[in-house]
Structure 1
Amino acid sequence: MPIVVDVDVMLAKRKMTVGALAEKVGITPANLAVLKNGRAKAVRFTTLDALCESLECQPGDLLRWEPGEEGPGTESG
């Protein structure tokens, strides 16, 4: 999928652990890892809102579009 999730970049910038962010957002560390590793098929706006609030960032700091990126489980054409 051409949508790339940069949660790990923001975690590093904020010097925050996955566990700490998951607790602040209210999701499991496993679900945050799915999102962070680009395996998520969707993200709820409420989750995106909580991520942005916790990381003090904009949605565009967490998500970007990369043309031609093929992730796991994607099909072409």
Structure 2
Amino acid sequence: MNEDQALAEIKRVIVQILEDKGEVVPAITADTELLSGALAIDSLDLAMMVSELEGSIGHDPFSHGFIEFRTAGELAKLYAK
């Protein structure tokens, strides 16, 4: 999976989480901050997102420990193979 494909999957999961919460879904780009930004997601939502991505992408970049990321694009780079 390349970075663009990973970002598309991240966007899909974010939209699903926000719609399930009844939140407005803003435009999501590689520069979108995942926490403390325009998205109405919290750390629990982020943990659920990472779990969902591991299942859908089939790769866990955090298997050896936490790697810091802030934006959707930074997370996509971690999932890109």
Q: Indicate the TM-score class for this superposition, using the shorter chain for normalisation.
A: 0.3 to 0.5
**Structure 2 length normalisation: TM-score?**
0.36
Larger Rg belongs to:
1
